[in-house]
Structure 1
Amino acid sequence: MAQPKGFVDVINPDYVCHLHKAIYGLKQAPRQWYNTLTAHLVSMGFKHSLSDPSLLTLVYVDDILITGDNNTLISNIIQQLHQHFNMKQLGEVHSFLGIQIERNPNQFFLSQQNYAASILEVAQLSDCKSLANPTCTKLPSNFSADSILGDPTIYRRITGSLQYLTLTRSDISYSVNLLSQHMHQPLPQHIYLLKHLLRYIRGTINYGIPITKSNLMLSSFSDADWAGDPTSRKSTSGYCSFLGDTLISWTVKKQMMVARSSTESEYRALAALTADVVWLRRVLTDFGIQQSAPTDLYCDNTSAIALANNPVFHARTKHIEIDHRFVRDHIYHSTIRLLPINTVDQPADIFTKSLSTPRFQQLRSKLSVTPRPNSLTGDIRTIAT
């Protein structure tokens, strides 16, 4: 730290200001707030999660969400926080960080309808005709100009906003990932695909994901599209995880290296999913949800499954040795169990490629992305400081 230029104390030029409290808006202010809050929560008996140190409760700038199955304990925690912090209790949660939360005794429904509407308003597509598919399997030969989306700044702004929308809309993850790869220089075909996606969102603006009561066993699905990028020939990994019937995690990502075979691309996706499953199991343990059995990982590539279960290492697979040993170790220690699945039943297929509308809608239902129910009710509370 140093004294600001033009305000240097001539007598004591090496002195700096000693702040008795953090100034809101400085770079260190969020960190100081986090340290102050977590120190108090720890003094109340909370413990940091080993898998995620911020798991005490979800802290985002100045909004706090407290949840649990003991209303009396929740009320006591809120009263203790009131004694140390200037807070306002907002009651049962209906919206948190742009996510609408609707409730009934057996289900929570998460959606971002208002947020999606604001994106469409920026693109001036609030009243556009809707489409049934966020992507298209064949691009037209000619692209008409778009005065709004044709502006690279607007393209980047909307695409960045769509990344946040994928928090409750796993069905658009592949499309958003594809558009995000061309933020630096969007071409006419990318502007066309962005408008196509926005028209799909217009028709499914009330869609979201339900959280339902079911068993608490973790299961995951992995898929890859070998050499799907026509320019770089890199593959796309896609995987998702369910806790019972509830979708809790999903990822779409282009692989870092060019795969020499479909088996290699599928195996790299399996290795990435295995790492994610290991982390999810640790987080679930922090919540008191023990996974007593190995987590089932479903893959539609029999060669990748055989490679993972085969202890003999072949010369043809030397280039994926690290991933091979990583997956093999977790199979050996019963962390995961690899199982085959028919490609037709593979829900992760929606994360790796453009699909026909019937196929897309079939997989969307498997991910439980559905329209918002008419009425719901429940018990989670929000606090604002």
Structure 2
Amino acid sequence: MGNDEKTIKEVKIHLHKNFSIKDLRPLKYLIGIEVARSPGGFVISQRKYTLDILEDCGMQRCRPSKFPMEQNLCLTKDDDSKEVDAAKYRRLVGRLLYLTVPRPDIAYSVNQLSQFLNCPRQVHMDVVHRVIRYLKTTPGRGLFFPSSGNLNLIAYCDASWFSFPTTKRSNIGYYISLGGAPVSWRTKKQSIVSRSSAEAEYRAMATTVCEVLWIRWLLEDFDYKKDYATPLMCDNEAAKHIAENSVYHERTKHVEMDCYFVRERVTSGEIKPCKIKSKLQPADIFTKALGTYQFRFLRDKLGVRNLHSPT
């Protein structure tokens, strides 16, 4: 990786002399991921892989869906619907998991479906089919990485309190962009039960800070040291206040270790907690099922583009 063509060629020649390698030239297709380049940047997508899923399921002519999961839908294990073929369900969810590499817009839905691999029911299979119907609308959609712009690192974090009714655990999500391009995102069920929404949000903040620090260290390895704090956008005022105020105790006694960790990074100038409106929070798409308008709005903020849409 580099911006010096002469040095890159010298490295290739050196490697070729010592190892048996094959130069595949500019990347176009690799392990199911397609790369399309343009003067404005490049897009990675899995169009062929998506079409293969539709063909294998016999859903080429199915009715498309505008969003992958019904708003406010709550999936549980104790559902009264009939059991389905577990092997088929696992195979479909596994294929969708790989598809989340260039498709963060389906990450939350697939994460929810992954909770029921042991004993899937018909209601869970119906959601799988809905995700596939959503993919049919734009099989060529993928992530856009611009070729120009700054290298500003911005992080967003969010949590959905008590989003898993069976275990009473919360769901956390974060999204990190570099120069306006997505570089890291995640949706995850918290490992313990949070006693308040502020605690759930703060634990999401601590998880995001860990990822931000790793990316900052990685950029330093590329000889790009960031001398300013990385903005951490959070829509919970209480969590932001806890991160900045070392004597705010009433909501921190259950998250003491996370408090010290985040505050230390805020004090060192590596992280700067910032407030963002909930409607503008892109990490919201990783913590709950949204309606059509809000889902599309946040999906576009993630940098997900349709490569084959008319210009």
Pairwise TM-score range, normalised by the shorter structure: over 0.9
Residues 140-192 of structure 1: CA deviation (Å, up to 9, x unaligned): 9x99989xxx4211110111111111110010000010011111111111111
Tell me which residue corresponds to 2:68: 134
- Determine whether 1:157 maps to 2:91: yes
Tell me which residue corresponds to 2:168: 233
Counterpart CA distance in 1 for 2:81 and 2:45 is 32
- Compute the displacement of 1:315 (Å): 4.7
Contact 1:99–1:112 (Cα < 8 Å) also in 2:
yes
DSSP-derived class of the 2:163 partner: coil
Counterpart CA distance in 2 for 1:145 and 1:203 is 29
- Compute the displacement of 1:100 (Å): 0.7
Normalised by the length of structure 2, the TM-score is 0.93
- Determine whether 1:110 maps to 2:44: yes
- Compute the displacement of 1:316 (Å): 4.2
- Determine whether 1:94 maps to 2:42: no
- Determine whether 1:277 maps to 2:212: yes
- Determine whether 1:346 maps to 2:281: yes
- Compute the displacement of 1:97 (Å): 2.0
Q: Percent identity?
A: 39
Of residues 293, 307, 311, the one that matches 1:372 is 307
1:280 counterpart letter in structure 2: I
Normalised by the length of structure 1, the TM-score is 0.76
The residue correspondences of 1:271-310 to structure 2 (distance < 5 A) are: 271-310=206-245
Pick closer, same or farther for the CA change 1:184–1:144 going to 2, 3 Å: closer
Counterpart CA distance in 2 for 1:307 and 1:144 is 44
Counterpart CA distance in 2 for 1:202 and 1:143 is 29
1:345 counterpart letter in structure 2: L
Contact 1:177–1:253 (Cα < 8 Å) also in 2:
yes
Greater shift in the superposed pair: 242-251 or 309-318: 309-318
Q: Which has the larger radius of gyration?
A: 1
1:307 counterpart letter in structure 2: I
- Compute the displacement of 1:298 (Å): 0.4
1:295 counterpart letter in structure 2: T
Counterpart CA distance in 2 for 1:98 and 1:241 is 24
Counterpart CA distance in 1 for 2:56 and 2:154 is 38
Pick closer, same or farther for the CA change 1:137–1:284 going to 2, 3 Å: same
1:339 counterpart letter in structure 2: C
Residues 190-237 of structure 1: CA deviation (Å, up to 9, x unaligned): 111100001001112110011112110100101000001121111000
- Determine whether 1:188 maps to 2:122: yes
- Determine whether 1:171 maps to 2:109: no
The residue correspondences of 1:1-385 to structure 2 (distance < 5 A) are: 67-137=1-71, 150-212=84-146, 213-372=148-307
Query: Displaced runs of 4+ in structure 1, greater than 4 A?
Result: 142-146
Pick closer, same or farther for the CA change 1:204–1:144 going to 2, 3 Å: farther
DSSP-derived class of the 2:169 partner: coil
DSSP-derived class of the 1:130 partner: coil
* Cα RMSD for the two superposed structures: 2.0
Instruction: Structure 2: state its 5+ residue gaps.
Output: none
DSSP-derived class of the 1:252 partner: strand
Greater shift in the superposed pair: 75-84 or 234-243: 75-84
How many residue pairs are counted as aligned between the two chains?
A: 305
Counterpart CA distance in 1 for 2:309 and 2:24 is 23
Counterpart CA distance in 2 for 1:289 and 1:132 is 40
Contact 2:233–2:276 (Cα < 8 Å) also in 1:
yes
Contact 1:143–1:189 (Cα < 8 Å) also in 2:
no
Counterpart CA distance in 2 for 1:208 and 1:70 is 28
- Compute the displacement of 1:106 (Å): 2.8
Q: RCO greater where, 1 or 2, for CA within 8 Å and sep 6 or more?
A: 1
Contact 2:140–2:308 (Cα < 8 Å) also in 1:
no
Counterpart CA distance in 1 for 2:309 and 2:139 is 14
Greater shift in the superposed pair: 125-134 or 331-340: 125-134
